[in-house]
A and B are shown apart, each in its own frame.
Chain A
């Protein structure tokens, strides 16, 4: 282990976490705080402070690990086999992923709860004039353009593979291959976000369904005629369907974006041959996060795009 660039702690994760908390407090209070719950503009300062803190923490983190060239090597060792040896960093990453499981579980379970309670649109059901009594899922709107969701699914699954291949390339002292695989992962993640942004734009502006239908002449969603409540587009505040769809897919997209930021650091360091047979744990830890993002999509895709 290099004495100069060996294991050492860093306050960066703590700084970053506090900043994230500040950011969210500022965002929530600025948009929905105050006595009237309409938002308290003064909290935008707290939000900006949080963003600045996140950038600072991220830069600190990069600075602390940029020159590290040896494993952390610090493992949890206990007096009982229950605490079998894994590194503290890996254990910490798993704890973080568990919290993320609860985040997405709340979003998905809220969606499932609504789907169980509100009947899906059917011709023999009285859905009200605006179809407000029925659930017209985002899947019905997306179905005509499902190819984007399918491409996104393949992209994320493939990116999980490329992350694993990057790890094994680093373990085999093949920096060039590791860099290439990480760049491929970055490209696939970017493709995912671009397609998602395109989908959002088209749905928000009502471009995913045909113009041949008349909202007063009768609806036939099976033939892509749109429900009245989506006449002016499908957005966050259009209906419960829109809220659940955009919040869930948006939260997932935000996680992909954060992953891309971390990937940028990994690519830069891999490019300078910073990962090798003896030091590649960071790629593995990032891989855990990225695979988790993929796992979330494994649930989001069928429940929001197919059903």
Chain B
């Protein structure tokens, strides 16, 4: 089992300057990096508004909306929530609901009208 102990020095080391990936070109200051992340978020928001005006089918629309939302979530989670600089424990903890989300959306798909509910057919036999 885990023990808890005070780790003042180790905690301070955690909060060193954060470096951004090269493609974000954050320069010397992390503030610039966060500003650029914000700019990317605005860009993707504009992109999804323009995309929805095209009036694609339900499936294509869901794909576009989920896809752009996933990208924006990645930006916010990775940089604003500091996950890219956090230890793996945070990533593993954040990944826990993914399993339940997969089960939930599978259940939605399988119970929708006209959906195939036979396991053999789902598996392609």
Give A contacts to B, CB under 8 Å.
Answer: 1, 7, 71, 73-79, 82-88, 90-91, 94-95, 97-98, 101-102, 105-106, 109, 112-113, 115-117, 120, 146, 150, 153-154, 157-158, 160-161, 163-165, 168, 171, 278, 284, 287-288, 291-292, 294-295, 298-299, 302-303, 306-307
Contacts and interface: CB of A to CB of B under 8 A. Distances in A.
A91 B52 CA distance: 38
Contacts of A117: 112-113
A153 B45 contact: yes
* Interface magnitude class on chain B: 35 or more
B4 A88 contact: yes
Interface string B23-67: 000000011001101100110010011001000001001100100
A294 B108 CA distance: 25
A178 to B, nearest CB: 13
A154 to B, nearest CB: 7
A295 B7 contact: no
- Secondary structure dominating the interface of B: helix
B125 interface: no
A115 B105 CA distance: 13
Contacts of A154: 42, 45
A306 B19 CA distance: 35
B100 A150 contact: no
5 contacts: A73-B7, A75-B4, A83-B2, A98-B93, A302-B65
